[in-house]
C-alpha cells in the first residue's frame, strides 16, 4: 500500500485544527509541510514555528520539504520543531553528502528532492545515503499545478537504480497528484504520494485520502 502524505499547503489556514483532526482520523501515514523562502522558489510559505504547531496537533509522521537556499543553516531548527523526515533540494546544496550526514546526525530521515529538469542519475553516487527521494512532478513553489508527464519515466529510472543497488530508498512524488493519475504513478514504482489540492480542495478529504490509500 502506498504512503499517503497530504500537503498542508492547500489547507485552510483559518481552520488548521479541523484539518489536523481530519488528518489524525484519516488513513494518511504522513503529512507534508512545504517550506519556501522566496529565493530558491518564487514564493514564501511558513517556517519552523508552524511546523511545531502541526507537530503538536497531529499524530502522523512529519515530512518537511525544504525549498530553501542553504538548508544546512536551518536543519537543527526543523528537527527541534518536530520534523521526522527532512528533505533538501539537490539544486540548493553545494555539499549534498555533508547535508545528508547532518540531517541524519540530528536524528531525522534524510530526503533529497529534485526538480523536473534534474536527472535522477545525479543521485547515483549518493543514493545509498538517502532515505527518500522526492521527485518533483511540478516546478516547486505552488500547489495546484499540473503533473508533468515525464515524471513517470523518471520514477522508472530511479526504481531500477535502487533495485540495481539493492536499496529500499523511498520514492516520493510531489505535485499534481490526482485520483486519476495516482495509479500510474504507483505502478511506475513510487512509494509515497504527496497530495495537496486533491485532498484539501475535495468535498470529502477523508474519503479522498482513503481512495488514494486503497488504489
Ligand atoms: C509544491 C509543493 C507541493 C505542493 C503540492 O512546490 O512542494 O508539496 O503542496 O500540491 P499539489 O498536490 O496541489 O500539487
Ligand atoms: Zn512539497
Instruction: Determine whether 174 is an active site residue.
Output: yes
For the chain, the domain total comes to 1
Mean pLDDT, range 162-180, rounded to an integer: 98
Q: Is 42 helix (H, G, I), strand (E, B) or coil?
A: coil
The edge-to-edge listing of strands for the beta sheet with 109-114 is 3-6, 192-195, 170-174, 132-136, 109-114, 85-89, 61-67, 30-36
Segment 165-177 shows an average pLDDT of: 98
CATH of the domain at 50: 3.20.20.70
Q: Which domain does 27 fall in, by range? A: 3-213
Give the atom of ligand 1 at the shortest distance from the alpha carbon of 195: 12
Q: How far apart are CA 180 and CA 165, in angstroms?
A: 31
Cβ(57)–Cβ(16) below 8 Å: yes
Residue 28, C-beta contacts closer than 8 angstroms, at least 6 positions apart = 4, 5, 6, 60, 209, 213
Which ligand sits nearest to residue 200's alpha carbon?
Answer: 1
Instruction: Provide the CA 7 distance to its chain's centre, in angstroms.
Output: 8
Task: Encode pLDDT of 101-156 as tens digits.
Answer: 999 999 999 999 999 999 999 999 999 999 999 999 999 999 999 999 999 999 99
Amino acid at each position: 500500500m502506498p504512503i499517503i502524505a497530504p500537503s498542508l499547503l492547500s489547507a485552510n489556514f483559518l481552520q488548521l485544527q479541523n484539518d489536523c483532526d481530519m488528518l489524525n482520523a484519516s488513513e494518511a501515514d504522513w503529512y507534508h509541510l512545504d517550506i519556501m523562502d522566496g529565493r530558491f522558489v518564487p514564493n514564501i510559505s511558513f517556517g519552523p514555528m508552524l511546523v511545531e504547531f502541526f507537530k503538536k496537533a497531529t499524530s502522523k509522521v512529519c515530512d518537511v520539504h525544504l525549498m530553501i537556499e542553504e538548508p544546512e543553516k536551518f536543519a537543527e531548527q526543523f528537527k527541534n520543531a518536530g520534523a521526522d523526515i527532512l528533505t533538501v533540494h539537490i539544486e540548493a546544496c553545494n555539499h549534498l553528502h555533508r547535508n545528508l550526514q547532518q540531517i541524519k546526525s540530528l536524528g531525522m530521515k534524510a530526503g533529497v528532492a529534485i526538480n523536473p529538469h534534474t536527472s535522477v542519475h545525479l543521485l547515483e553516487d549518493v543514493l545509498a545515503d538517502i532515505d527518500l527521494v522526492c521527485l518533483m512532478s511540478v516546478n516547486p513553489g505552488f500547489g495546484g499545478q499540473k503533473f508533468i508527464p515525464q515524471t513517470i519515466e523518471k520514477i522508472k529510472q530511479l526504481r531500477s537504480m535502487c533495485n540495481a543497488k539493492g536499496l529500499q530508498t523511498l520514492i516520493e512524488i510531489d505535485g499534481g497528484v490526482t485520483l486519476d493519475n495516482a495509479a500510474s504513478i504507483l505502478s511506475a514504482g513510487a512509494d509515497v504520494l504527496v497530495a495537496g489540492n486533491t485532498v484539501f480542495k475535495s468535498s470529502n478529504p477523508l474519503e479522498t485520502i482513503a481512495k488514494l490509500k486503497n488504489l
